[in-house]
Homo-oligomer: A and B are copies of this chain.
């Protein structure tokens, strides 16, 4: 294998596949990046078994030569060193050549690296996915759907299925749901497909976070293909594979209350900042619990009390307070996470009593909701 490549394309591509490479793997060759030079260009692959990423650097793009292939072939190089090296190469042009025993020379300007490589045949094959049912969604919409749900997945392995996000596709709609059993995030959006199939899968939260980092902020469509055990996302010059989680995701629809007894309409930023301030003293007490009380004249009070440190209270003018009086305690962190995810300026909060889950929505967009379980403090 021998090729000459534009450094910046190589750096970007290595950075992308590195998102799948883990130093803590039980399969030693997966600490490497697979490099394949073929006549159309160079393909890099990184994988940690759960996530696999393939990045393609075309020989030519927009009539500009990016890679000059002198000899096709392949090698696996230690990801950690290879990625550090390409970032720090002195010149715009890089030559990579594999010699005897996979010993690989990386040349740029007067700098010459020799890295011990491995046989690419030893590298696990990526899953073969038959592209029967292809769904399409704009890149920025996928990123928004991930951002607005993935933070709510469980970080505990007690119920592994809750470490993933539930993706349900039916009737041209995608519904994403994440819950750690203390709070739930839901976002839905239309999705495009030529088929009428339906899917109900659970994608590991970590996979979605990595996917989100690797996707550009464009509205170009991403293709999505599901199989029994894998999901594949196809963007320009990029394949992103993730395994799916085994098991059935709990039915969350009955968790969302249909009616409410107290309804607030208020400015999201005011609410967020008041909770943030109240949580300053609550954080220390570990539970991070703050209290909300309705007052008269559409005022609400956010407060917190940590006897050893002190206490804090703040009044906020709501735009509307409707229904029964209420005193309720909740995790400041969960409500702040939810408000940040909603990204709205004006929000509705619907309560059905101090012991029941409450729902936060923006006043303008009903495609997303955040549900939070209160904390019992009485």
Contacts and interface: CB of A to CB of B under 8 A. Distances in A.
Nearest to A87: B280
Contacts of A276: 88
B281 A312 contact: no
A280 B115 contact: no
A288 B207 CA distance: 35
Interface string A102-133: 01100001111111100000000000000000
A90 to B, nearest CB: 7
A280 B90 contact: no
B111 A308 contact: no
Interface string A277-300: 100110010000000000000000
A90 B277 contact: yes
Contact of A314 (B84, B104, B110, B277): B110
Contact of A309 (B112, B116, B277, B311): B116
B110 A308 contact: no
A85 B309 contact: no
A110 B277 contact: no
Contacts of A277: 85, 88-90, 111, 113
A11 to B, nearest CB: 14
A180 interface: no
A144 B279 CA distance: 41
B88 A280 contact: yes
A378 interface: no
Nearest to A270: B90
A337 interface: no
A28 interface: no
Contacts of A6: none
A155 interface: no
A87 to B, nearest CB: 9
A2 to B, nearest CB: 17
Contacts of A247: none
Nearest to A311: B114
B115 A309 contact: yes
Contacts of A309: 78, 81, 115-116
A310 B116 contact: yes
Nearest to A299: B110
A112 B81 contact: no
Nearest to A280: B84
A260 interface: no
Contact of A274 (B111, B115, B311, B313): B111
A214 interface: no
Nearest to A117: B310
Contact of A308 (B116, B280, B312): B116
Interface of A: 78, 81, 84-85, 88-90, 103-104, 109-116, 273-274, 276-277, 280-281, 284, 308-316
- In the A-B complex, list the 10 residue pairs whose CB atoms are closest, starting with the nearest: A115-B310, A111-B314, A110-B315, A114-B310, A113-B312, A114-B311, A84-B280, A88-B277, A116-B310, A110-B314
30 contacts: A78-B309, A81-B280, A81-B281, A81-B284, A81-B310, A84-B280, A85-B280, A88-B276, A88-B277, A89-B277, A90-B273, A90-B314, A104-B310, A109-B314, A110-B314, A110-B315, A111-B274, A111-B277, A111-B312, A111-B314, A112-B312, A113-B277, A113-B280, A113-B281, A114-B310, A114-B311, A114-B312, A115-B309, A115-B310, A116-B308
